[in-house]
Amino acid sequence: MSDTPTHDGPTKGPNRRAFLRGAAATGVGLAATAKATAQDTPDPLITEMQDWASSTGEGVDASPYGMPIQFEGDVVRRNVPWLTADVISSINFTPIHALDGTITPQGCAFERHHSGAIELKKEDYRLMINGLVDRPLVFSYADLERFPRENRTYFLECAANTGMEWAGAQLNGSQFTHGMIHNMEYSGISLRTLLEEAGLDAAGDLADKWVYVEGADASSNGRSIPMEKALDDVLVAFKANGEALRMEHGYPVRLVVPGWEGNMWVKWLRRIEVTDHPIESREETSKYTDTLADGTSRKWTWIMDAKSVVTSPSPQMPITHGKGPLVITGLAWSGRGAISGVDVSIDGGKTWQKARLAKEGEKMALTRFYLDINWDGSEMFLQSRAHDDTGYVQPTKAQLREVRGENSVYHNNCIQTWWVKENGESENVEVSS
């Protein structure tokens, strides 16, 4: 039996026993096929004393707040300048191609502003609850800290994520096609708790009631939320991933609306009004509506349906090690529940393989998936297809276009295709279905 990894074509997983023997024999693991001579050539990084091993390093106070090492300097948010007229009302993108696991560090989680990020001190923060309540109330930040807290992990996805791809393959890289998303653990108070503190008897029958929420920034970004959702799982959050919210994410307090489009997650939350009707604000009429093929538009399409994307290999993550064992990985999520499974295709959807989930899917949170294969060096058309626990299956772009045409921007959850070439580089493409 051969002592090197077997390469039986791209659809079969690696022979682990042979792979481990090959790794031990060559000392270079996955790069064995690309560096077969390494076993005969001394590696100076092993055989010679290096600078970092012959002198002391930085002390404990060199960086009171730890930052990523300089060698990871390319793992940053990026924007596409031509997408918007000005960065004040604009978007940038999470480097999902360069991350693993599911939790997004705050420092590289995407931003969406309608009038720029504002500086608001905790001491100056106020949250008002008014409208159809028994007792209109105003809370300071210190007041909020005294209420019972919850910890919940949720994804936030901009409604326009993948929006440029409706008419065809446009942006080259998962950061730019799918990077208007992040996934964080939030600490905060149930909105239900605060509404009940103000009292809802004055509102009468809650079945037809709404809350209108707005932020303290110049745009206010007001949105109407049905009372049923407000009393279900919405949080008033002041921490993310264990620390204070970043300014760009709404410091000191933001709304968390699990599974619903990101513009509902109002930042710098300043007011919650209980009403008997939706307000029909600018942000829920002129924008965040879905134009159909016949020119009419639908509104109140809040929920982000099941979606997935392969993050590596992808245009920003080429295959550099040549043929052999290859880890295909990506993210899946659903605003209706938990991801129950992900399929991966390497031939543009002709055949599918079941991916391995890193852990059981969680409701309204990102799920990491992996597919381990032996790549034979031939081209691939990589796709992923998400399933959630409601039975929903992520659609193709053709299926979405049948219903909504090509004029939409929001809620594009189509299957994405990367054309992986023989040299390991990838490109954003569409395939005929």
Q: Are residues 215 and 315 in the same domain?
A: no
Would you say residue 99 lies in a domain? yes
292 with 390, same domain? no
Judge whether 83 lies within some domain.
no
Tens-digit pLDDT profile for residues 171-224: 999 999 999 999 999 999 999 999 999 999 999 999 999 999 999 999 989 999
Say what the pLDDT of residue 295 is.
81
Pair (373, 233) in one structural domain: no
Regarding whether 294 and 353 lie in a shared domain, the answer is: no
Residue 9 lies in a domain: no
* 34 band by pLDDT with thresholds 50, 70 and 90: very low
Q: How confident is the model at residue 433 (pLDDT cuts 50, 70, 90)?
A: low
Q: Which of 299, 319, 351 is the last residue of a domain?
A: 299
Model confidence over 131-179: pLDDT tens digits? 999 999 999 999 999 999 999 999 999 999 999 998 889 999 999 999 9
Cα-trace Rg, the chain: 24
Is there a domain that residue 46 lies in? no
Residues 387 and 357 placed together within one structural domain of the fold: yes
pLDDT digits (tens, 9 = 90+) for 306-345: 999 999 999 999 999 999 999 999 999 999 999 999 999 9
User: Which pTM value belongs to this model?
Assistant: 0.89
Q: What is the mean pLDDT of residues 286-290?
A: 84
Lowest-pLDDT choice from 17-26, 176-185, 247-256, 348-357: 17-26
Tokens 């608001």 map to which residue?
Answer: 120
**Residue 39 — pLDDT band, cuts 50, 70, 90?**
low
Residue 161 lies in a domain: yes
Burial class (CB in 10 A: 0-12, 13-18, 19+), 271: buried
What is the number of structural domains in the chain?
2
pLDDT in tens, 375-385: 999 999 999 99
Regarding whether 246 and 272 lie in a shared domain, the answer is yes
Instruction: Give domain status of residue 157, yes or no.
Output: yes
**Among the three residues 271, 299, 327, which one is the final residue of a domain in this structure?**
299
Residue 121 has pLDDT above 90, yes or no: yes
In this structure, are 110 and 259 located in the same domain? Answer: yes
Q: Are residues 339 and 273 in the same domain?
A: no
- Is the predicted pLDDT of residue 123 greater than 50, yes or no? yes
Q: Does residue 150 form part of some domain?
A: yes
Q: What is the pLDDT of residues 251-279, one digit of tens each?
A: 999 999 999 999 999 999 999 999 999 99
In three-state form (DSSP H/G/I as H, E/B as E, the rest C), the secondary structure along the chain is CCCCCCCCCCCCCCCHHHHHHHHHHHCCHHHHHCCHHHHHCCCHHHHCCCHHHCCCCCCCCCCCCCCCCHHHCCCCCECCHHHCCCCCCEECECCHHHCCCCCCCHHHCCCEECCCCCCCCHHHCEEEEEECCCCCEEEEHHHHCCCCCEEEEEEEECCCCCHHHCCCCCCCCHHHHHCCEEEEEEEEEEHHHHHHHHCCHHHCCHHHCEEEEEECCCCCCCEEEEHHHHCCCCEEEEEECCEECCHHHCCCCEEECCCECHHHCCECEEEEEEECCCCCCHHHCCCCCEECCCCCEECCCCECCCEEEEEECECCECCCCCCEEEEEEEEEECCCCCEEEEEEECECCCCCEECEECCCCCCCCCEEEEEEEEECCCCEEEEEEEEECCCCECCCHHHHHHHHCCCCCCCCCCCCEEEECCCCCEEEECCCC
User: Are 216 and 135 contained in the same domain?
Assistant: yes
CATH code of the domain covering residue 376: 2.60.40.650
Q: Which residues span the domain enclosing 103?
A: 90-169+181-299
Give the domain-ending residue among 248, 264, 299.
299
Query: Is there a single domain that holds both residue 234 and residue 336?
Result: no
CATH number at residue 213: 3.90.420.10
Sign of the Cα torsion 335, 336, 337, 340 reads negative
- Could you tell me if 295 and 417 lie in one domain? no
Whether 218 and 275 map to the same domain: the answer is yes
pLDDT for the residue numbered 35: 45
Q: Is residue 294 included in any domain, yes or no?
A: yes
Question: Cα 286 from chain centroid?
Answer: 25
